[in-house]
């Protein structure tokens, strides 16, 4: 959490016309206002009752990448309520990154209802508590141009592969980050089902690209021009 003085000092940076900002504290919403016109990428830690999401009551016309970090169940509820209308104040946002934000099924359900999903080219959900059942509901989200999907979840199961492979809204994917627990058959199914897939990043697998390729039988994918790499965080 920022101290009051630290938060109050933020507006002094606005004259730099930054296009990228990462904040590890929780500033007062009003102290972010001077950055709205220029920022294209913003990373914020959730905290306080409505303290962060209140900053998005006003437009951020150029913000393309929004990353939210941390939070608790209360913040999840606030984010769930905000997502369906977030496109109104973030008209340019096409990358949403939720890192350990207590992501639950209700977040996915809110994305289903949000016009923001239509414009997303990148979505990253990283939460050790994410269940395979919750992730399977991604097939209902109305993505139309999603190219990058990152699923940092330890509880994935091979059965999830079929759900993702059958999802029409994921056929545009070019890059997928997924946990090794999806298994060799699961990864093979996705590679076969996603026609534009060219990059695979795998968590908790072998330490090198060569070993990953061999372990999961991805030689054909690589020979066709695809790339495989370990994902560490």
Domain locations along the chain = 4-231
**What is the rounded average pLDDT of the residues 160-171?**
93
Q: pLDDT value at position 101?
A: 78
Q: Is the pLDDT of residue 98 over 80?
A: yes
Alpha-carbon span 146 to 122, nearest angstrom:
6
Alpha-carbon span 16 to 13, nearest angstrom:
6
Strand order in the sheet with 175-179: 20-22, 41-45, 65-69, 95-99, 122-126, 148-152, 175-179, 199-203, 227-231
Lowest-pLDDT choice from 12-16, 196-200, 222-226 = 12-16
Q: Is the pLDDT of residue 14 over 70?
A: yes
- Side-chain-side CA neighbours of residue 13 (13 Å): 18
Q: Is the pLDDT of residue 1 over 60?
A: no
Cβ contacts of residue 1 below 8 Å, gap of 6+? Answer: 25, 26, 47, 48
Q: pLDDT value at position 164?
A: 92
Q: pLDDT value at position 48?
A: 66
Q: pLDDT value at position 33?
A: 85
Q: pLDDT value at position 232?
A: 65
Q: Is the pLDDT of residue 5 over 80?
A: no
pTM of the model: 0.90
Lowest-pLDDT choice from 47-61, 104-118, 170-184 = 47-61
Tens digits of residue pLDDT in 175-219: 999 999 899 999 999 999 999 999 999 987 778 999 999 999 999
Range with top average pLDDT, 4-13, 84-93, 150-159: 84-93
Q: 105: burial class by Cβ within 10 Å (0-12, 13-18, 19+)?
A: middle
Tokens for 93? 């946002």
65-69 and 175-179 beta bridge pairing: unpaired
Q: pLDDT value at position 196?
A: 97
- The domain made up of 4-231 has a fold known as 3.80.10
**What is the rounded average pLDDT of the residues 31-53?**
82
User: Percentage of the chain surpassing pLDDT 70?
Assistant: 93
């Amino acid at each position: 959490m920022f101290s009051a003085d630290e938060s109050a000092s933020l507006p002094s940076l606005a004259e730099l016309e930054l296009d990228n900002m990462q904040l590890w504290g929780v500033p007062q919403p009003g102290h972010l206002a001077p950055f709205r016109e220029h920022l294209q990428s913003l990373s914020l830690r959730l905290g306080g009752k409505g303290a962060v999401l209140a900053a998005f009551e006003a437009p951020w016309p150029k913000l393309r990448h929004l990353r939210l970090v941390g939070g608790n169940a209360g913040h999840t509820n606030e984010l769930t309520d905000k997502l369906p209308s977030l496109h109104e104040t973030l008209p340019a946002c096409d990358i949403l990154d939720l890192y350990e934000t207590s992501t639950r099924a209700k977040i996915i359900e809110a994305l289903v209802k949000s016009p923001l999903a239509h414009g997303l080219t990148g979505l990253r959900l990283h939460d050790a508590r994410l269940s395979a059942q919750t992730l399977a509901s991604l097939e209902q989200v109305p993505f139309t141009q999603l190219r990058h999907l990152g699923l940092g979840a330890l509880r994935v199961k091979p059965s999830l592969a079929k759900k993702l492979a059958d999802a029409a809204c994921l056929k545009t994917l070019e890059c997928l980050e997924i946990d090794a627990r999806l298994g060799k058959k699961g990864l093979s199914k996705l590679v076969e089902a996603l026609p534009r897939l060219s990059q695979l990043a795998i968590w908790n697998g072998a330490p090198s690209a060569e070993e990953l390729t061999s372990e999961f039988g991805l030689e054909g994918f690589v020979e066709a021009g695809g790339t495989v790499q370990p994902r560490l965080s």
